[in-house]
Amino acid sequence: MAAASGLTWQRFRDLELSELTDAADGWRAASAFADAARERVDGDMGGRLAKTQDSESARAAVKRLKRLSENYHYVHTETGLVRGALDALAGELGAPQRRLREALDDAASLGYTVNGNGSVDYPAGGKNELTGAPIPGGSVVGNNGLIGAGNPGLYHDANGMYDPAMGSGGPALKSPNPHRAKAQDVADRLAHAMREAHEIDARYSTALHKLKAAPGLTVDTKTWADVASDADAVSQAAQNYLEKHLPLDKSPAERKEWWDHLSKEQREEYMSAFPGVIGNLDGIPALVRDEANRENLQLLIGQLGVKHDEASRDMLGGLKGIQEKLEKGGEPPMYLLGIGDEGNGRAIIAYGNPDTADNVSAYVPGLGTKLDAEFAGGTVNRAWQTAIGASEADPSSRTSSIVWLGYDAPQMTPGDLASGNSVMFTNDAETGAPDYNAFMAGISATHEGGDPHVTAIGHSYGSLTVGLAAQEKGGVPGADDIILVGSPGTGADNAQDLNVGKDHVYVGAADNDIVTKLPNHEEASGMTSGAVGGGSTGFVLGAGMAGPPGALIGGGAGALVGGIAGYAAQDAQTDPDEHWFGTDPASESFGATRFLVDDGPTIIEDHGKMKAHSNYFDPTKDQDSADNIARIVVGKSEEIKLETPR
């Protein structure tokens, strides 16, 4: 069976797939050696030198060792990709090779001849009813037309001539020679196996041809961009393999069971070849996800480093900020549980190992959050502040504090407003809620103790995401308590709807946080109508008295007065506890426990900013709120300071 790749059925039959896996093992050893060398350079050499000596020559030596470490890192990554591609290639070729050999065995047992082009000769058989002579044999080819010359599936007599009276192998015409149908079946199976083999061969050949090192020893941004491209190529080539061998469509608990039953070599293969998949798979242990995502982080930085659009630059700033925090280290230790460039960026960061912690909190940020420098420098710190506060609230227990940016939080941009994916709509929260629940189910599945104290935290629009997640069947997996801060509503009428019991729903709402006082839809409609009507009237009156300048002044004043009047008119007719996304969580009618927070500055005092909306986690700006959150996280809610519901 000839093909452009040179893969004939004879070569495919005789191919020893163990040679591919043996080669993969060789690349695995090279990858492991490079990784171990990198660790020695970073730890025993560069790390020790940086700690023990402080001189210009020592700093220069550390810089050179850093470059050497990057070289080993590059070798480790590229050889891991080769290893993964070879293993996946061998895995995919196994099934079509087995089917090919089975078809050849059947041909041999029936006495048929398989020709070099894949056609199958069969002998005479049956009897001509008119003459009594045996019906001559013939030759058939597979129905997909990929082998040999001529039309697929056509019947040929013993002399190689097409006989239309004998049919074309279709269901309407049938050869009276009983061997013909059996031979056609064999030929079809051979052709199908080879078609699949050629497709697999082409996919992996393309990917493996990309895995070539550039000349020289410099490993820079361009180098890592090339590595990222290589990783994408391997992942695309192995997509069928991944879908077949990885439990992508299974529950986190099933994924954990799958991982537990893999050999050490299999785990290494998946991690080195597919870090972006393993690192973001809920149900995989935290230490594994962290290792895979640190690898994937470097690939993403390389990939975005050669792009020049604003979105890529913003995301690159966030990725580099996270990388700097990871390299710096500290206590509690930082774990990268998710990273990606989907949408506005994805990042899941934990302070403390959630698989071994006694307490786990997972905080969902809200409006305006995306993977950028502000996220790495500000939003992430909220998880760290909660972790530190928890260790002070209960020094005897271990806490893992997580920030979960696993969805696209709404952005206040014209594009978001036009598309309907803005803070005024529930679209983003509805999309994020099931993903948050899947992550939390993964936390439950991988926890080594089995039953940590779990707190779901939602801030701003993130509280809507948590609220919708809590209202899904079964609620947030594993959640014991829910904290809502700076919330515009959860989509629920009552705290009881959040599936943890209303006594386990806690709310922090600063009096000067305008997000917690967003008007309901009727009030907003009244404000708009009043502003339009008042602005029009003011414009006309102002123009009559003072011309164009008076029109502008009168229009603005009229809009303000009209908006206030419209809001007041609607407010008098609606439930005061009803906000934009449902019942005000801080209200008495919602039924949650409201804890004490600082009022924060007003917008006027804050010169138009919204610091009262952003201080809840920061003990330097709102000690009461930060302390209360920490106490709830460690299961000491009886010690929180309370505030009267609205």
Write down the pLDDT at residue 569.
42
- Angle, CA of 26, 27 and 31, to the nearest 5°: 120
Decide the pairing of beta strands 453-459 and 359-364: parallel
User: What tens digit of pLDDT does each residue of 292-307 get?
Assistant: 999 999 999 999 998 9
User: What tens digit of pLDDT does each residue of 312-329 get?
Assistant: 999 999 999 999 999 999
Q: Which amino acid is located at 427 in the chain?
A: N
Binning pLDDT at 50, 70 and 90, where does residue 534 land?
A: very low
Does the structure show a pLDDT above 70 at 206? Answer: yes
Write down the pLDDT at residue 529.
44
Q: What does the mean pLDDT of the chain come to?
A: 84
Does the structure show a pLDDT above 50 at 381? Answer: yes
Write down the pLDDT at residue 414.
55
- What are the CA-CA distances from residue 378 to residues 40, 281, 372 (Å)? 33, 26, 10
Write down the pLDDT at residue 146.
43
pLDDT over 70 percentage in the chain: 82
Does the structure show a pLDDT above 50 at 410? Answer: yes
Average pLDDT over residues 447-464: 95
Does the structure show a pLDDT above 90 at 56? Answer: no
Distance CA 197, CA 191 (A): 10
Does the structure show a pLDDT above 90 at 49? Answer: no
Q: Which residue has the tokens 């009030």?
A: 523
- Angle, CA of 167, 169 and 174, to the nearest 5°: 60
Distance CA 286, CA 275 (A): 13
Weakest-pLDDT range from 262-266, 284-288, 526-530, 601-605: 526-530
Weakest-pLDDT range from 169-183, 239-253, 276-290, 599-613: 169-183
Write down the pLDDT at residue 507.
98
Q: Considering Cα of 190, then 195, then 198, then 204, what sign does the dihedral take?
A: negative
Does the structure show a pLDDT above 90 at 163? Answer: no
DSSP 100-161: HHHHHHHHHHHT-EE-TTS-EEE---SB-TTT-PBPP-EEE--TTS-SSSS-TT--B-TTS-
Tokens representing 73 are 């890192």
User: What tens digit of pLDDT does each residue of 474-510 get?
Assistant: 999 999 999 999 999 999 999 999 999 999 999 999 9
Determine contact, residues 394/628, Cβ cutoff 8 Å. no
Distance CA 339, CA 10 (A): 45
Distance CA 455, CA 386 (A): 12
Determine contact, residues 439/404, Cβ cutoff 8 Å. yes
Determine contact, residues 269/84, Cβ cutoff 8 Å. yes
Tokens representing 206 are 């393309």
Does the structure show a pLDDT above 90 at 69? Answer: no
Neighbours of 557 (CB within 10 A): 16
Q: Which amino acid is located at 204 in the chain?
A: Y
Determine contact, residues 83/24, Cβ cutoff 8 Å. yes
Binning pLDDT at 50, 70 and 90, where does residue 46 land?
A: low
- What are the CA-CA distances from residue 161 to residues 137, 139, 154, 634 (Å)? 11, 9, 10, 85
Residue 364: strand, helix, or coil:
strand
> What are residue 349's phi and psi, to 5 degrees?
-125, 135
User: What tens digit of pLDDT does each residue of 339-371 get?
Assistant: 999 999 999 999 999 999 999 999 999 989 999
The residue among 88, 19, 82 whose CA lies nearest residue 245 is: 88
Average pLDDT over residues 247-253: 95
Write down the pLDDT at residue 560.
38
Neighbours of 569 (CB within 10 A): 15
Position with higher pLDDT, 425 vs 168? 425
User: What tens digit of pLDDT does each residue of 392-403 get?
Assistant: 999 999 999 999
- Whether the bond into 332 is cis, omega within 30 of 0: yes
Position with higher pLDDT, 415 vs 626? 626
Residue 285: strand, helix, or coil:
coil
Decide the pairing of beta strands 582-583 and 578-579: antiparallel
Does the structure show a pLDDT above 90 at 20? Answer: yes
Tokens representing 642 are 């309370």
Write down the pLDDT at residue 170.
43
3-state secondary structure 335-358: EEEEEECCCCCEEEEEECCCCCCC
Distance CA 632, CA 616 (A): 14
The residue among 334, 299, 301 whose CA lies nearest residue 315 is: 301
- What are the CA-CA distances from residue 567 to residues 266, 405, 582 (Å)? 63, 35, 18
Distance CA 602, CA 615 (A): 13
Distance CA 212, CA 235 (A): 16
Q: How does DSSP classify residue 399?
A: E
Does the structure show a pLDDT above 60 at 148? Answer: no
Write down the pLDDT at residue 576.
63
Q: At what angle are helices 623-633 and 380-393 packed, to 10 degrees?
A: 70
Q: Which amino acid is located at 491 in the chain?
A: G
Determine contact, residues 429/366, Cβ cutoff 8 Å. no
Binning pLDDT at 50, 70 and 90, where does residue 284 land?
A: very high
Looking at the DSSP bridge assignments, the partners of residue 593 are 506
Q: Considering Cα of 510, then 511, then 515, then 519, what sign does the dihedral take?
A: positive
Q: How many CA atoms are closer than 13 Å to the CA of 534, on its beta-carbon side?
A: 19
pLDDT over 90 percentage in the chain: 60
H or E segment and range at residue 400: strand 399-405
Binning pLDDT at 50, 70 and 90, where does residue 90 land?
A: very high
Average pLDDT over residues 86-111: 95
- Angle, CA of 399, 502 and 621, to the nearest 5°: 50
Determine contact, residues 556/549, Cβ cutoff 8 Å. no
Determine contact, residues 395/625, Cβ cutoff 8 Å. no
Contacts (Cβ under 8 Å, ≥6 apart) of 25:
83, 265
Does the structure show a pLDDT above 70 at 246? Answer: yes
Q: At what angle are helices 461-470 and 427-446 packed, to 10 degrees?
A: 60
Average pLDDT over residues 560-582: 52
Weakest-pLDDT range from 86-90, 554-558, 560-564: 560-564
Distance CA 582, CA 489 (A): 5
Position with higher pLDDT, 52 vs 305? 305
- What are the CA-CA distances from residue 15 to residues 83, 96, 118, 237, 343 (Å)? 18, 12, 17, 20, 43
